[in-house]
């Protein structure tokens, strides 16, 4: 699933669709497109990849767009000083291949034209993809970034299957079978984030308003790195609940 975050120009949505079509990526999600949707210019520049645009789904916020996904890659031009693993497109291609084989549902985030993804958006992803590019001239447009990631996905899948033009699986797998050990969806993970952050806020954990955003990001990055299973997310929420109000309320109720 290719997720375009807050794209500004319809032309770039179209050229991104074209690059997706080149490598058998068919599912596009668009978060908060600046010029609304549908966008005629996107169709003009897509060189005929209309089926991708026709089926594109639009979301108001990034967390909503990622709800049903198990694993999310964020593409960035530069390292972000976050404690988050950074993959090359090649490594990402191998990783995607493996996860799709396991039935995971994957998302790849591409930022807006001007400044890419912001740090809060990156912190919602599990891992970063950065292409090796001439540091003196590192600017890639959206379609070019999609092209490089799509190329590696296609190349590595073709090699794995031993086919020159592989029957490509969708980046969205059939869904995972065993509920307990399956990777958490982003909806479950973000629900946990919200729970945790609300409780930490109530507990006065974030000393100042200025410090809060950075502290939130660090915590999200930490838990994203852990690749939590659904069962683990429930356990963590259970822990928070017992450590905080739910616990207090219970105590009050039982008259302890």
**Interface positions with a copy of itself (CB under 8 A):** 18-19, 21-24, 47-49, 88, 90, 131-140, 143-144, 147-148, 151, 154-155, 158, 164-165, 168
Give the nearer residue to a copy of itself in terms of CB position, either 23 or 73: 23
Render the burial of 168-194: b for 16+ CB within 10 Å, e for the rest: beebbbeebeeeeebbbbbebbbbbbe
Alpha helices (H) along 102-176: 119-123, 142-161
Nearer to a copy of itself, 115 or 137 (CB): 137
Any alpha helices (H) in 102-244, and if so which ranges?
119-123, 142-161, 186-202, 212-225, 230-243
Q: With respect to a copy of itself, which residue has the nearer C-beta, 21 or 233?
A: 21
Name the minimum Å distance from CB 200 to a copy of itself.
37
| Of residues 19 and 66, the one with the C-beta less far from a copy of itself | 19
What whole-number distance in Å separates Cα of residue 119 and Cα of residue 124? 9
**Angstrom distances, CA of residue 245 to CA of 195, 204, 240:** 12, 14, 9
Q: Least CB distance from residue 111 to a copy of itself, whole Å?
A: 16
Q: What's the min distance (Å) between Cβ of 144 and a copy of itself? A: 6
Q: Which positions ≥6 away from 98 have C-beta within 8 Å? A: none
- Distance between CA 126 and CA 132 in Å, rounded? 20
Shortest Cβ 231–a copy of itself spacing (Å)? 38
In the complex, what is the shortest distance from the CB of residue 91 to a copy of itself, in angstroms, rounded to a whole number?
A: 11
H-state helical runs in the chain: 10-22, 40-45, 50-54, 62-66, 89-101, 119-123, 142-161, 186-202, 212-225, 230-243, 245-254
Which residue's CB is nearer to a copy of itself, number 58 or number 158? 158
To a copy of itself, the closest distance from the beta carbon of 47 in angstroms equals: 6
CA 49, CA 15: separation in Å to the nearest integer? 9
Minimum CB distance to a copy of itself smaller for 139 or for 178: 139
Smallest distance from the beta carbon of 155 to a copy of itself, in angstroms? 6
Q: Given the complex with a copy of itself, which of 11 and 121 has the nearer CB atom?
A: 11
Question: Residues, the chain, total?
Answer: 256
């Amino acid at each position: 699933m290719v997720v375009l975050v807050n794209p500004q120009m319809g032309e770039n949505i179209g050229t991104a669709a074209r690059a997706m079509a080149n490598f058998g990526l068919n599912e596009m999600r668009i978060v908060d497109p600046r010029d609304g949707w549908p966008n005629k210019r996107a169709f003009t520049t897509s060189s005929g990849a209309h089926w991708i645009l026709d089926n594109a789904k639009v979301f108001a916020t990034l967390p909503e767009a990622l709800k049903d996904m198990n694993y999310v890659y964020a593409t960035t031009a530069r390292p972000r000083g976050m404690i988050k693993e950074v993959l090359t497109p090649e490594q990402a291609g191998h990783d995607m291949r493996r996860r799709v084989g396991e039935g995971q549902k994957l998302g790849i985030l591409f930022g807006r034209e001007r400044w890419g993804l912001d740090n809060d958006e990156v912190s919602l992803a599990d891992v970063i993809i950065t292409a090796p590019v001439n540091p003196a001239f590192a600017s890639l447009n959206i379609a070019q970034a999609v092209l490089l990631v799509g190329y590696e996905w296609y190349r590595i899948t073709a090699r794995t299957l031993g086919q020159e033009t592989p029957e490509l699986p969708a980046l969205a797998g059939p869904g995972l079978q065993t509920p307990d050990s399956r990777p958490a969806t982003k909806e479950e993970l973000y629900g946990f984030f919200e729970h945790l952050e609300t409780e930490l806020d109530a507990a006065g954990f974030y000393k100042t308003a200025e410090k809060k955003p950075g502290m939130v990001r660090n915590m999200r990055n930490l838990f994203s790195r852990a690749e939590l299973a659904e069962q683990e997310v429930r356990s963590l929420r259970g822990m928070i609940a017992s450590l905080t109000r739910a616990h207090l309320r219970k105590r009050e109720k039982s008259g302890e």
